[in-house]
A and B are shown apart, each in its own frame.
Chain A
Amino acid sequence: MLSALRVVDLTDHRGLLCGQILGDLGADVIHVEPPGGSPARRLGPFHGDVVHPDRSLFWWAFTRNQRSVTLDVAHPPGREALARLLETADFLVDSAPPGTLADAGLDPATVAATHPRLVHVSITAFGQTGPKAGWAGADIVLLAAGGPLILTGDADRPPVRLPVPQAWLHAGADAAVGAMIAHHARMRSGHGQHVDVSAQQSVALATQSYILAAAFDAPEVQRAAGGLTMGAVSVRLLFPAKDGHVAITFLFGSAIGPFSRRLMEWIHEEGGCDAATRDKDWLRYSQLLLSDEEPLAEFERVKAVIAAFTAARPKAELLAAALARGLLIAPVSTLGEVLASPQLAAREYWQPLDHPELGTTVRYPGAFARFEASPLRWRRRPPRVGEHTDEVLGGELGLDVATLRARGAV
């Protein structure tokens, strides 16, 4: 869909996802790395645990469908080569801290002046301006700053993040949306523009709008493992299973209440609760709890009834029942189970890419969406450091790569 468009990607581990999304859509993404390779290539895990810039699985996860060029943009010859490359580009994506690209002439104002048609996307921790614009970001720091972290974890321990860093991915995905919106505007007006992405603001989406609690004069949510606590009421969304855990949307109200009623009907059928427990008003249950018509201890007992019921059954049986009975239950899958998922297999989700340099084929996560008329294609495995320097700078731009190399620019 974007095959006529070129992306120059200057990002490191803080912004890779944006270029990958554009590349999946067909754009020609040229990753410009410093000599020696992107800092993102130093992040593990590594293929075969061999620490090598071409074996970083972090790099692999976010750079398929891209080409790699090495350029030292700190020095004039490299900068001139980059300027030539930018003349052929439609998008420039960077993840440098605010102000740090000014020396290279790649700050937003200079880029706008020199390349007025370019869509320039900058991904930073806190945005380009403001009192914290110069603050350092890291995954856990951004999750703290943007709101999701306080909501997550066990009540009696510190807040906890996911072990796969998420914050820069939220920012990178937002950056791709911004890039597409700015491209749409360019097609109408002829003008490029700058897209300023703040990871702090991007991760705030993961608060499920509880970021508004104070503004709405509503109480703060307190974290609870696999659930949340509001006021005196603790909602539980994860339950034990015989072979692990399951997620259940055990909530109430006109929309979700009927599902909870069906769950309790099943538990009653199987002898897991009495009729009075089954027949509670699950549509109005929240109001009953809030008005003390239903004692909190009784709600705790109901959750324990459900937990005892699910703990005696394997995940697969609970999922099968969910499908057959219209219940809101899902297995809490391990990564092994995700990779073995019959659903993903049936949809041919995993996409093989050959790595001839390692004599192996790797199955990558597949298309983020199925486009009937213009399907996404996995065209290239993640590039090795500078793999396409000659092809792009020499072959396509007609630059004298040998001289650049001699001058230490590539």
Chain B
Amino acid sequence: MTGGALSDVKVLDLMWVMAGPAATRMLADHGATVVRIESTRRIDTARTLAPFFDAVPGPERSGCFQNLNVGKRMLTLDPTTPAGRGVFLDLVRWADVVTESFAPGTMARWGLDWPVLRGVKPDLVMVSSCLMGQTGPLAGFAGYGNLAAAISGFSNLGGWPDRPPAGPFSAYTDYVSPRFLAVAILAALEHRRRTGEGQLVDLSQAEASLHFLGPALLDRQVNGRTMTRRGNRDPELTPHGVYPAAGRDRWIAIAVDGDAAFAALCAVLERPALAADARFATRDARHAHTDALDEAVAAATAAHDMHDLAGRLQAAGVAAHAVQNSAELLADPQLRHREHFVAVPHPERETVTLENARFRLSRTPAAVRGPAPTWGADTDWVLRTLLGYDDARITELVAAGALE
């Protein structure tokens, strides 16, 4: 099977910003032909998001956009123009899957919603992804993953009990939901393979992401207890947290599971007094004196190099790691070994460094199959190769303003 596990899968992708493109990126990595449609009249928000090349903003300079769209084909098309609509419907006939992540009702307003598309292609799989779902009183609530993270309970939980919420970073549900979205697409394709039946799938980013809060939701439900912010405390493990290391804003994360690991921690930190302290002799005792313990551990870690200390703790059987920023991630020997970063050709910059596929398949390995698409880079290829249009037809489309 050349070209990847999904080389027989054709996706017409109208999803934009982060969650949707992250999902179809996984499919493209594994060989699916993903044709993204973007209108220059309404550019993808991801193009406005950092990091940018040399910290200079620009629509073709966004690392966020490149990282989520590498390996896809890009057609600039305005499907709301009469001529653009014809191209769009031809692509629906070509595709196995159509994906979109506009505010609910947008496709209907364009006359391109499920009943219309199914009429064009009876066994089509269509996946609509939005913040809250296609129905319900908040269906019209459109926006970004930071809003879904807030309304789904994530943002209130991150941070310190004595401070306002710090939340998980930025648009958290945009990082959770892409996996559910990719699974939904593949499952609907599996259903079609077995039954011949296409269908519409409605994925609410909030609903999918709530599975990442499962135990706390059940605790509230069953025991009436509401989880709130608690810093880095853990109900099972102690010491547990982020402790200072040598240097400015340098930290090491340590999670100690059991008496043997605690003894190993004290030995590596050369703090025999800590190991002998009755307040820290058992797990329950350590939990009862967590503040004093955290303070003692922080005092002991502060002079150490975070990478060196993490390596020695791991060698002694203690879970620990340096808290890495992007420079340290880029240099991380494990991520290098895993080829987590990959140099990808770029029309204007020779190559750019992006993330590779996150998981490995032994027989059908993922591969980045081309650069991140610049505007209109594949318009000609899509129209000629996929749709078989000739020069005259393409000239007409250009004249009609459909390819903008």
The interface residues of chain A lying within 8 Å CB-to-CB of B358 are: 174, 197-198, 201-202, 204-205
Q: Tell yes or no: A143 within 8 A of B by CB.
A: yes
A residues in contact with B214, CB < 8 Å: 60-62, 164, 365
- With contacts A209-B51, A218-B51, A226-B155 taken as known, whether A346 is within 8 angstroms of B241 at the C-beta atoms is no
B362 touches A108 (CB 8 A): yes
CB interface residues, A 330-358, toward B, < 8 Å: 330-339, 341-344, 346-347, 349
Report the minimal beta-carbon distance from A127 to chain B, rounded to whole angstroms: 5
B172 within 8 A of A: yes
From A21, A136, A230, A373, contact of B197 by CB (8 A):
A373
In the bound complex, do residue A49 and residue B223 qualify as a contact, i.e. CB atoms below 8 Å apart? yes
Would you give the 0/1 interface string for B239-269, flagging 1 where the beta carbon is closer than 8 Å to chain A?
0111110000101111101000000000000
Tell me the B127-172 residues at the A interface (CB within 8 Å).
127, 132-138, 140-141, 143-144, 146-160, 163-172
Choose the segment among A187-195, A265-273, A398-406 that binds chain B (4+ C-beta atoms closer than 8 Å): A187-195
Q: Is the CB of B361 within 8 A of A182?
A: yes
Instruction: Tell me which residues across on chain B come within 8 A of A21, comparing CB atoms.
Output: 180, 183
Looking at the assembled complex, report how far the CB atom of A302 sits from the nearest CB atom of chain B, in whole angstroms. Answer: 18
Contacts of B156 in A (CB 8 A): 244-245, 332-335
A38 interface contact, C-beta 8 A: no
Question: If the complex has contacts A144-B251, A149-B253, A228-B170, are A216 and B54 also in contact, measured as CB distance less than 8 A?
Answer: yes
Q: CB-CB < 8 A to A177: which residues of B?
A: 26, 179, 182-183, 186, 359
Find the B residue at minimum CB distance from A179: B183
* B5 within 8 A of partner (CB): yes
Chain A 192-214: CB-based contact to B (< 8 A → 1; otherwise 0): 11111110111011111111111
Question: Chain A 134-154 against B: per-residue CB contact (8 Å), 1 yes, 0 no?
Answer: 111111111111111111111
Say yes or no: is A173 at the interface (Cβ < 8 Å to chain B). yes
Residues of the B chain whose Cβ atoms lie less than 8 Å from the Cβ of A332: 150-151, 155-156, 165, 167
Stretch of B71-79, B80-88, B328-336 on the interface side? B328-336
Using CB atoms, name the residue of chain B closest to A250. B146
The answer to whether the Cβ of B272 comes within 8 Å of any Cβ in the partner chain is no
Nearest-CB distance from B310 to chain A (Å)? 8
Is B377's beta carbon under 8 Å from chain A? no
B237-A188 in contact (CB<8A): no
A140-B241, A160-B242 are known contacts. Are A225 and B175 too (CB-CB below 8 A)?
no
* Shortest Cβ gap from A282 to chain B (Å): 12
Chain A min CB distance to B147 (Å): 4
Q: Given A161-B232, A323-B140, do A132 and B333 touch, yes or no (CB 8 Å)?
A: yes
Q: Mark contacts of A161-195 with chain B using CB atoms, 8 A cut-off: 1 yes-contact digit, 0 otherwise.
A: 11110100110011111101111110111011111
For B231, the chain A residues whose CB sits under 8 A away are 160
The contact string, 1 if C-beta is below 8 Å from chain A, for chain B 205-226, is 0111011111111111111011
Q: Please state if A201 and B326 are interface contacts (CB–CB under 8 Å).
A: no
C-alpha gap A138/B321 in the complex (Å): 10
What's the least CB distance linking A139 to chain B, in Å?
A: 7
B211 near A365 (CB under 8 angstroms)? Answer: yes
Number of interface residues of B (CB under 8 A): 165
Whether B314 pairs with A206 at a CB distance below 8 angstroms is no
Contact present for A185 and B160 (CB under 8 Å) = no
Q: Give Cα distance in the complex from A197 to B178, angstroms.
A: 16
CB-CB under 8 A for A129 and B169, given A255-B45, A343-B136: no
Q: What's the Cα separation between A130 and B336 when bound, in Å?
A: 9
- CB distance B186 to A184 under 8 Å? yes
Known: A212-B63, A370-B202. A162 touches B157 (CB 8 A): yes
Chain B hits for A178, CB < 8 A = 359, 361
A57 close to B219 (CB less than 8 A): yes
Choice from A45, A175, A181, A211 contacting B355 with Cβ under 8 Å: A211
Say yes or no: A136-B318 contact (C-beta < 8 A), given A144-B323, A144-B324, A149-B242: yes
Question: Across the interface, which residues of B come within 8 angstroms of A373, CB to CB?
Answer: 191, 197-199
Docked-complex contact A1 and B187, CB < 8 angstroms: yes
Provide the bound-state CA to CA distance between A182 and B364, in Å: 8
A residues in contact with B208, CB < 8 Å: 368-369
Contact A333 B151 (CB under 8 A): yes
Shortest CB-to-CB span from B226 to chain A, Å, is: 5
Shortest CB-to-CB span from B380 to chain A, Å, is 26
Complex interface: chain B residues within 8 A of A191 (CB)? 363
A-contacting 9-mer, from B274-282, B337-345, B388-396: B337-345
* A359 is an interface residue with CB less than 8 A from chain B: no
B50 at the interface (CB under 8 A from A): yes
Contact A163 B230 (CB under 8 A): yes
Q: How far is the CA of A164 from the CA of B225 in the complex (A)?
A: 14
Residue among A337, A363, A366, A371 making CB contact with B207, cutoff 8 Å: A366
| B238 vs chain A, min Cβ distance (A) | 12
Which chain B residues border A58 with CB–CB below 8 Å?
215
Say yes or no: is B273 at the interface (Cβ < 8 Å to chain A).
no
Report whether B186 and A344 are in contact in the complex, using a CB–CB cutoff of 8 Å.
no
Complex CA–CA separation, A215 to B66 (angstroms)? 13
Q: Which residue of A216, A329, A338 has the most chain B CB atoms within 10 A of its CB atom? A: A216
B193's closest neighbor in chain A, by CB? Answer: A187
With an 8 A cutoff between CB atoms, is B109 at the interface?
no
CB distance from B343 to the nearest CB of A (A): 9
| CB<8 Å pairs between A and B, sample of 20 | A136-B319, A140-B255, A145-B253, A150-B325, A158-B232, A164-B215, A177-B183, A200-B334, A206-B168, A208-B171, A218-B50, A220-B325, A249-B146, A253-B45, A330-B141, A333-B150, A339-B220, A342-B138, A368-B207, A372-B201
Further pairs besides A144-B324, A216-B52: 15, Cβ < 8 Å: A132-B333, A164-B213, A180-B187, A181-B26, A184-B5, A189-B1, A201-B359, A202-B358, A207-B326, A218-B63, A222-B249, A333-B150, A338-B152, A338-B210, A368-B203
Q: Which 7 A-B pairs have the closest CB atoms?
A: A61-B214, A247-B150, A138-B255, A130-B337, A173-B179, A144-B253, A185-B5
